[in-house]
Amino acid sequence: MTVKPEQAVYTLVVGLGKTGLSVVRYLRGLGENIIVVDSRDMPPGLNDLRSDFSDVQCHTGDFTASLFVNAHRIIVSPGVALSEPALVAAKNNNIEIIGDIDLFAHEVSAPVIGITGSNGKSTVTTLLALMASHAGYKSVASGNIGTPVLDSLDDDVDLYVLELSSFQLETLHSLPMKAAVVLNISADHLDRYDSVSAYALSKQVIYENADVLVLNKDDEMASRIVASSKKRLMFTLNAAAENEFGFCEYYKCDDFNTENSRAAISLCFGNKYLVAADELKIKGRHNLQNALAALALGHAFGLSFEQMISALKEFTGLPHRSQFVAQINRVNWINDSKATNVGACIAALQGLPGKHVLIAGGEAKGADFSMLTAVIAKHCRAVVLIGKDAEKIKSIVPQAVNVRVLSDMPAAVAAAQAMAQPGDNVLLAPACASFDMFDNFEHRGDVFVQAVEALQS
């Protein structure tokens, strides 16, 4: 007799892609009966699932409610909102709903450091893992950064550095961490959250099971936590107080000539000098903030300053994040395609010296662009817009700033070249998601780079 799915004991995996496939691999290794559902007709990873797990049932398209309410438990991928009616029905039926991070929590034995925030997560995650490697630890960066956490499980790992999105934190119930940070909060994913406050609260979950809370002193919403007796470490882009990571002035001498000494902005811990900002390969105030956060997390874990500074001096940053592409006729072309929200766009505009021709636009995700008005007025010579919500951004551009709306990236690059002056930056910092025109933010950045390179041919 054939047993109907709703009569069997099974775990329901909701959402395929990289995370869903990693969950299937993990659960199959435990010998569990699995059913997979995905609302997309042809979700990423479907061919791999059919090839590697041909016996696993997969239902695509509209969700079938009975599969949810009759499951033993549900593992939901981050891209599926918990407000999905089928999930709400399952919750009301007292069915356990968790994510891959909780599965990881049951298996992991090595220390974990958690990193979330609106912007800078991948940079800080990668940098901290590099710092730990310099100190002799076998460290793994995983999570939202690209490698699913279940695929990173390894008995030889000394430290897991996890980038965690708000979506992943929504289903996190228990994961002990040595340290955790909310880097910053800016309006993002308002197509999924009712307000910025609700979005911020989803990030704060990361602190619940952390031994050391690393807090951004400059971001009230990111550092707003309930009373706690846990150890705290602060970082700031202002002068560092005792036991804080921040800035200080350090006088450097050129060519050993004390008469030519100059004050250099430096990173410090309290009054302890660590490194001058101009010795780093990463540029911009937002990247200095990322460096300070990584130093605070590493210090909480027990890494030495010498080991961390060695890694920091080596670190060149990540592609599509304030990435220098070329200088053409004394105009710098910068790829910050990862600036997928308003806060990241503002950080890019304020963090780089000189005037900018900004290329922006895409899928707004419900964002309010009004905060960009004053920043554009101060930092931009011109604005070039593409994508679904280009007109929405155009409406907040000051009248004194030249603005054009164009159909694609090559046209935007050509227009930016015509408007830029020697000494300017042409900055791709879209303030929007990419999926209205591109596969992802990497694809968007690659198309920008290709268009810039074509200018030189």
Share of the chain above pLDDT 90, in %: 79
Residues 233 and 372 in one domain: no
Each residue's pLDDT tens digit, 311-338: 999 998 888 988 889 999 999 999 999 9
Residues 36 and 113 in one domain: no
Distances (CA, A) of 378 to 282, 283, 400, 423: 23, 20, 11, 16
Please name which of 52, 368, 24, 59 lies closest in space to residue 193, comparing C-alpha atoms. Answer: 368
Residues 184 and 251 in one domain: yes
Residues 284 and 417 in one domain: no
Find the range with the poorest average confidence among 99-108, 130-139, 228-237, 403-412. Answer: 228-237
Tokens of 16: 């395929």
230 is catalytic: no
Q: How many domains does the chain have?
A: 3
1 inside domain: no
Residues 211 and 300 in one domain: yes
Residues 112 and 55 in one domain: no
392 is catalytic: no
Tell me the mean pLDDT in the region 161-177: 93
Confirm if 246 and 296 have CB atoms less than 8 A apart: no
Domain with 427 in it: what CATH number? 3.90.190.20
In this prediction, residue 189 carries a pLDDT of 66
3 inside domain: no
Q: What is the pTM of this model?
A: 0.85
Residues 176 and 203 in one domain: yes
Tell me the mean pLDDT in the region 268-278: 94
166 inside domain: yes
Containing 442, the helix (H) or strand (E) segment is helix 441-455
Residues 65 and 87 in one domain: yes
139 inside domain: yes
Q: Which residues pair with 111 in a beta bridge?
A: none
Each residue's pLDDT tens digit, 73-89: 999 999 899 999 999 99
425 is catalytic: no
pLDDT classification of 2: cutoffs 50, 70, 90: very low
Burial class (CB in 10 A: 0-12, 13-18, 19+), 5: middle
In this prediction, residue 226 carries a pLDDT of 64
Residues 115 and 82 in one domain: no
Each residue's pLDDT tens digit, 8-48: 699 999 999 999 999 999 999 999 999 999 999 999 999 99
In this prediction, residue 256 carries a pLDDT of 45
Please name which of 342, 82, 100 lies closest in space to residue 194, comparing C-alpha atoms. Answer: 82
In this prediction, residue 227 carries a pLDDT of 60
Domain boundary among 79, 98, 117: 98
**What does residue 232 show for φ and ψ, rounded to 5 degrees?**
-125, 145
Each residue's pLDDT tens digit, 249-269: 766 555 445 455 556 789 999
Of the residues 70, 119, 134, 144, only one is catalytic, namely: 144
In this prediction, residue 200 carries a pLDDT of 83
In this prediction, residue 353 carries a pLDDT of 87
Of the residues 70, 119, 121, 299, only one is catalytic, namely: 121
In this prediction, residue 3 carries a pLDDT of 40
In this prediction, residue 86 carries a pLDDT of 97
Q: Is the pLDDT of residue 130 over 50?
A: yes
Domain holding 226, by residue range, is 103-314
Higher pLDDT, 174 or 157: 157
Domain boundary among 280, 296, 314: 314
Distance between first and last Cα of the chain: 68
Residues 357 and 275 in one domain: no
Query: Mean pLDDT for the chain?
Result: 92
Residues 135 and 271 in one domain: yes
Of the residues 134, 189, 217, 320, only one is catalytic, namely: 189
Tokens of 56: 């696993």
Residues 79 and 219 in one domain: no
pLDDT classification of 187: cutoffs 50, 70, 90: low
2 inside domain: no
Q: Token pair 């000539």 is at which residue?
A: 257
Burial class (CB in 10 A: 0-12, 13-18, 19+), 238: exposed
Confirm if 11 and 73 have CB atoms less than 8 A apart: yes
Distances (CA, A) of 96 to 12, 58, 87, 206, 288: 10, 20, 10, 20, 41
Domain boundary among 98, 130, 149: 98
Q: Is the pLDDT of residue 411 over 80?
A: yes
> What does the buried/exposed string (b/e) look like for 205-234 if buried means 16 or more CB atoms within 10 Å of the residue's CB?
bbbbbbebbbbbbebebbbeeeeeeeebbb
Q: Is the pLDDT of residue 7 over 70?
A: no
Can you say whether the dihedral through the CA atoms of 396, 397, 400, 406 is positive or negative? negative
Tell me the mean pLDDT in the region 412-434: 97
Tell me the mean pLDDT in the region 206-210: 92
Q: Is the pLDDT of residue 195 over 80?
A: yes
Each residue's pLDDT tens digit, 343-402: 899 989 998 889 999 999 999 988 999 999 999 999 999 999 999 999 999 999 999 999
365 inside domain: yes
372 inside domain: yes
